[in-house]
Amino acid sequence: MRIAYFDCFSGISGDMTLAALVSAGWSREALIALPARMRLAGAEVAVSEVRRGPFVAQQVHVRVEGKQPHRHLRHIRELLGAADLDAAVRARAIEVFTRLAEAEAEVHGESIEKVHFHEVGAVDALIDVAGAIEGLQALGVDEVYASPLRLGRGAVRSQHGLIPVPAPATAVLLRGAPVEMPDIEAELVTPTGAALITTLVKHWQPPPVFRLDRIGVGAGQRDLREQPNVLRVMLGDVEAPDGLALRRVAVLETALDDENPQFVAALVPRLLERGALDAMVIPTTMKKGRPGVWLVVVAEPSQAHALARQILAETSSLGVRFRFDERLELERRAVEVDTPYGRVAVKVADVPGQGSRAAPEFESVRAAAEKTGRPLREVAEAAVRAWQEGERSRQK
């Protein structure tokens, strides 16, 4: 499982998050291309290198030509719906803006449909939110952890006039999150930053032990006197103590008692083609003793929403449950071996303390068996022998 730890010792904002992810290895070209993909005319992103105290950091500026309109949540949804974004990125971005709308509605005593987004509805917030989620996905992050959030003190000027720090909507968004109030006259956590981090972090607790391999440092726009105004993001993999890989996966489930079994059987390979790691159909007995099928799909967390929508669109299901589990995985690799029946693909797994083992890929075995007219078992056993002989020759 790959995790990101946000070290928010100087707070968090949307542009600091983008900059930290670029510093950690996300393609700056992908970020610079984002306004065009989101059809945000007159907007451009610039990335530069700056120094904040002892840190050399990346800094992101979003420049916009012309005055931006006040947007409602429906306008944000329309913009994100028309953008060239991965479905999972779009869904999570809408979730962030919905939480922002709920916070603003609570502060102003309005419905979420009537809330104007003001500053956080501007183009830069759209880029901040979609870019941060896309950057985490591109870096392969499965789960996000964060330090307590330092909020700062004082007041900032907004379209409502002078308001206290943290801003009212920020304070609402941070309910349930661990916070600190350092004696620094600055807005360290912005509404966009608060909405992002509180949506991404599910459990406010220290991260598990992980193998750190990347560090990203993103600079804020202000250079504070009291401390370096940067956000650090640390990326790494959580490994099981016995050397096995530990990874987070999504598990999707739905039970069907009014669906043609042939349709369900046809859906399984389509789900695998769309990125599911595994899919299975299990006979079950449902309410009133009716026979049914239980569809279970294992997927990357980033694919969960897209696969759930596919299940809802192609079956009679009225709802798909999904949860996030951790699974232990063997290191694996794919190789091809030469057999008397042609080349056959073999999956090789490394078992800690036991060496390697091989299993022929069934479709490759079937293709060779059909081509030569030999039994499936004979071809499969020949593939395993060929791999074993190759291993022995390499060890000599």
Domain endpoint, select from 302, 329, 356: 329
The range of the structural domain enclosing residue 320 comes to 248-329
Residues 10 and 156 in one domain: yes
Residue 176 belongs to a domain: yes
Count structural domains, the chain: 3
pLDDT in tens, 253-290: 999 999 998 999 999 999 999 989 999 999 999 988 89
Q: Please give the radius of gyration of the chain, using alpha carbons only, rounded to the nearest integer.
A: 25
Residues 310 and 390 in one domain: no
CB atoms within 10 A of CB 77: 16
Residues 33 and 120 in one domain: yes
Residues 19 and 152 in one domain: yes
Residue 221 belongs to a domain: yes
Residues 43 and 179 in one domain: yes
Residues 257 and 365 in one domain: no
**What number is the average pLDDT over the span 67-88?**
86
pLDDT in tens, 315-358: 999 999 988 887 888 888 889 999 999 999 999 998 888 889 99
Q: Look up the CATH number of the domain holding residue 358.
A: 3.10.20.300
Residues 292 and 191 in one domain: no
The amino acid sitting at 353 is G
Residues 289 and 337 in one domain: no
Residues 266 and 310 in one domain: yes
Residues 87 and 227 in one domain: yes
CB atoms within 10 A of CB 343: 14
Sole residue written with tokens 């640390």? 234
**What number is the average pLDDT over the span 136-142?**
93
Contacts of 31 (CB under 8 A, 6+ apart): 18, 22, 45, 47, 60, 131, 135
Look at residue 120 in the predicted model and tell me its pLDDT: 45
Contacts of 219 (CB under 8 A, 6+ apart): 16, 19, 50, 52, 55, 57, 58, 59, 229, 230
pTM of the model: 0.64
